[in-house]
Structure 1
Amino acid sequence: MKSLKLMALCLLVIATGTAHAQLAGKNVILVHGLQADDLADNPANQQEIDQNGDAYWQAFWASRAEARIDWGSHERVEGKTAQRAFQQMVEISQQGLCNQGCILVTHSTGDLVGRYILANQERWLSNAGYQPLNIITSLDFAGAGGGSELADLAVTAAYADGFSDEAIKLAVTAYIGTEPTPDNLGVLRDLQPAVARNLAISPNNVPRLRFVGAGSDYYGLTGSFLPGEDDGVVALHSTCGGTQVGSYESCVSDVRLDGKRTSVDAPNALYYNHYPILMGEKVDHGQVINTESGNTLTYANNGLSFSGVDVNFDTETYQERPWWKFWGSADTYQVVSDSEQSSVSGLVYDTLN
């Protein structure tokens, strides 16, 4: 009897752990972003790449996912990265993790890698005799699918005779942690906006939900090289999912990043099936996937549903008159209720669950 009770307890723990790793009842697959250390010191093998991938997500998402697709930032998307992704997707397919649907969670350059995966995985796996992954939606945090102008700087600097501009040197070395050379650019070549925006851009049926910020990262050294509002690494034209490079102040034309309802510069068009969801004026590039709280968030879209993934954040509006404004109506703000009490990823995870 005791052994049966012990077995039942073990099964309960296993079931609880599995449920905890799901989001909206679906298994989660993580695709990390740029790992600058890979550029200066190339990983020796897939095991080292996997270890780096695990470390990347430890702050929040590691314990909430069933699988990862790990790749090396020293390699190109259409080359070795695609090969590594395919091998890992074969394992995911064999395990049946996506038979009931999976949610992709990407960060930064993982948005670009994820787009390439979504464009090709069905064909790759079918041709190899495996079941394609049933990915129902993608959550893209600080997505760099539209590229980053910092990659342009790095590539240009790599072919120059040293840094001619101290500000550019500081920005590039802050971003990648080393002085760029033609031999250590890796995925930065793909991350150039002109290149990124021509990589796997055919429409597909997987909705991509965007979560963006505009806080200063890298001590403000990089922001001046990015057009419009940015999170210190990627400008809004990319994180919002805009079809064109531009200098934008928000993902939508009627709400600022601080939640104020007003006319504002935003992308005229977004890539097919791309939906900006949350925006944070003071959220920087790394904060979207860690546990830091204290930032008020607004919303670009809310009350949407994607194959059982319900996007329905608690929201509120309020009016506020600046101390210096003595006439006219007060300003109206729309915000996610109590968003400063949670991290961005924590809020998304709890809400979608």
Structure 2
Amino acid sequence: MNNTHTHKWIKPQHIVGACLAMLMSFSAASKDHKIILIHGLQVSQITNKSGSDVVNDGETYWQSYWNNRADERIDWPAYERVEGKIATDWVWPKLKQLSRSNLCADGCVLVTHSTGDLIARHIIDNQANWLENAGLSPLNIVATFDLAGAGGGSELADVAVSALTGASWNFAIDAALRWWLGSDVTEAVGVLHDLKVNNARKISPFPDARTPRLRFVADGNEYLGITGAFLKGNDDSVVASHSSCGASSARSFGSCSSSIDTDGRLKSQSDAVNSFMPNHYPMMMSDSYSHNEIHNAQRKGNVTIAMNNINVDGQNVGFNTFDQTTGSWFWKKNYRYIKNSNTTSASALIYNVIP
């Protein structure tokens, strides 16, 4: 008697896809701490509020790299204010959900980009009190990983609010706003007000929680360099180094480190940040990535360090580095780079050190 078996052939691409999916799933699950994403400014929500889909926009924001590696997201609309409806209508419901699910029982890491840095600071300062008053357990937030952080505000927001409220305008300002926000912005709304430098620095400036805030700083150019003319010191085309480094004051700075330039060159930096906001630790710097590139999957160039080996929930967070020398005699220059940054994106390097 012959047994007849029917075989269903599986296409190779399906096998590859399934393996990749399993790898991505395991990658997120293999971390000791859960990852929660907080996105930055969504310009389209300012230019087209009625057509905005906050949740879908939040998913799209991170799709290049982080979506498949995170456990949760906190989405928020750019047309609202941080201490207003962003907190009450978007952040608060999510915090209750996260508390009830016990997601952060073993610790959560907030990964933020741009204005997400400011949202995270407001959360860190208030979440324990809010949740305890509601009879819920506070979240165990062990650290934030802030990419191109705008928690110190952006001079571009000052310019935008001034111009869009009719206080000032010229062709240079108009050109910068068109590059940054788009030509359809006709009024200063929502989080633009919170991103003004003085306003941003007044929002939850000294949280009681001693949560380490690890900073990852871009120093590359986009928008043809037009927006950089309005930012203090070095910048990533949207925020200046005083914000992304976590400096305690909004001054002109060239580096987060007194001994390393943002391109990795080992050299004394007379214009480096010398005082930081509480618990702010700039780790990675790169002049190869711009503001809107550092949270994506594409590799743009070598990156260096400012600080290294930061304690997060009892674990050491740091990068392996190597030194490289170019030229000789008077032209000799020494550089320090993070290992594998010549082949790996900034996002992947950052993800790999999340404990």
Q: CA deviation at 1:135?
A: 0.6
**Aligned counterpart, 2:139:** 133
Q: Distance in 1 between matches of 2:272 and 2:318?
A: 23
**Aligned counterpart, 1:237:** 242
Which residue identity does 2:45 align to in structure 1?
D
Could you report, residue by residue, the CA deviation over 1:28-68 in whole angstroms, capped at 9, with x for unpaired residues? 111000000111111568xx211110111000110111111
1:189-338 to 2 correspondences below 5 Å: 189-203=193-207, 204-264=209-269, 265-321=271-327, 326-327=329-330, 330-338=332-340
Which residue identity does 1:141 align to in structure 2?
L
Which residue identity does 2:351 align to in structure 1?
Y
Q: Is the 8 A contact 2:214 2:280 kept in 1?
A: yes
Change over 3 Å in CA distance of 1:216–1:17 after alignment to 2 = closer
Q: CA deviation at 1:180?
A: 4.1
Q: Return the TM-score normalized by structure 1.
A: 0.89
SS in 2 for 1:103: strand
Could you report, residue by residue, the CA deviation over 1:53-104 in whole angstroms, capped at 9, with x for unpaired residues? 0111000110111111110000000000001100011111111110111000
**Aligned counterpart, 2:354:** 352
Which residue identity does 2:180 align to in structure 1?
Y
Q: Distance in 2 between matches of 1:123 and 1:351?
A: 30
Query: What runs of 5+ residues in structure 2 fail to find an aligned partner?
Result: 1-19
Change over 3 Å in CA distance of 1:86–1:344 after alignment to 2 = same
Q: CA deviation at 1:332?
A: 2.1
SS in 2 for 1:287: coil
Q: Return the TM-score normalized by structure 2.
A: 0.89
Is 1:67–2:72 an aligned residue pair? Answer: yes
Q: CA deviation at 1:16?
A: 7.0
Deviates more, 1:107-116 or 1:254-263: 254-263
Which residue identity does 1:58 align to in structure 2?
Q
Change over 3 Å in CA distance of 1:43–1:211 after alignment to 2 = farther
Could you report, residue by residue, the CA deviation over 1:295-322 in whole angstroms, capped at 9, with x for unpaired residues? 1111011223311443221211122237
Q: Distance in 2 between matches of 1:17 and 1:296?
A: 25
1:38-53 to 2 correspondences below 5 Å: 38-43=45-50, 48-53=53-58
Q: Is the 8 A contact 1:24 1:309 kept in 2?
A: no
Change over 3 Å in CA distance of 1:14–1:320 after alignment to 2 = closer
Q: Is the 8 A contact 2:248 2:276 kept in 1?
A: yes
Q: Distance in 2 between matches of 1:138 and 1:342?
A: 21
Could you report, residue by residue, the CA deviation over 1:261-303 in whole angstroms, capped at 9, with x for unpaired residues? 1121112200111000000012101111101114111101122
Q: Distance in 1 between matches of 2:284 and 2:278?
A: 18
SS in 1 for 2:106: coil
Q: Is the 8 A contact 1:294 1:341 kept in 2?
A: no
Q: Distance in 2 between matches of 1:175 and 1:22?
A: 36
Change over 3 Å in CA distance of 1:99–1:43 after alignment to 2 = farther
**Aligned counterpart, 1:85:** 91
**Aligned counterpart, 2:345:** 343
Q: CA deviation at 1:179?
A: 4.8
**Aligned counterpart, 2:8:** none
Change over 3 Å in CA distance of 1:97–1:230 after alignment to 2 = same
* Percentage of matched positions with identical amino acids: 40
1:32-181 to 2 correspondences below 5 Å: 32-43=39-50, 48-83=53-88, 84-160=90-166, 164-181=169-186
SS in 1 for 2:342: helix
Which residue identity does 2:71 align to in structure 1?
E
Which residue identity does 2:43 align to in structure 1?
A
Q: CA deviation at 1:174?
A: 1.4
Q: CA deviation at 1:14?
A: 11
Which residue identity does 2:44 align to in structure 1?
D
Query: What runs of 5+ residues in structure 1 fail to find an aligned partner?
Result: 1-12
Q: Is the 8 A contact 2:24 2:69 kept in 1?
A: no
Q: Distance in 2 between matches of 1:23 and 1:132?
A: 24
Q: Is the 8 A contact 2:25 2:69 kept in 1?
A: no
Q: Is the 8 A contact 1:146 1:237 kept in 2?
A: yes
Q: CA deviation at 1:123?
A: 0.6
Q: CA deviation at 1:219?
A: 2.5
Q: Distance in 1 between matches of 2:233 and 2:299?
A: 25
Q: CA deviation at 1:178?
A: 3.6
**Aligned counterpart, 1:188:** 192
SS in 1 for 2:353: helix
Which residue identity does 1:194 align to in structure 2?
N
When the two chains are superposed, the root-mean-square deviation of aligned CA atoms in Å is 2.2
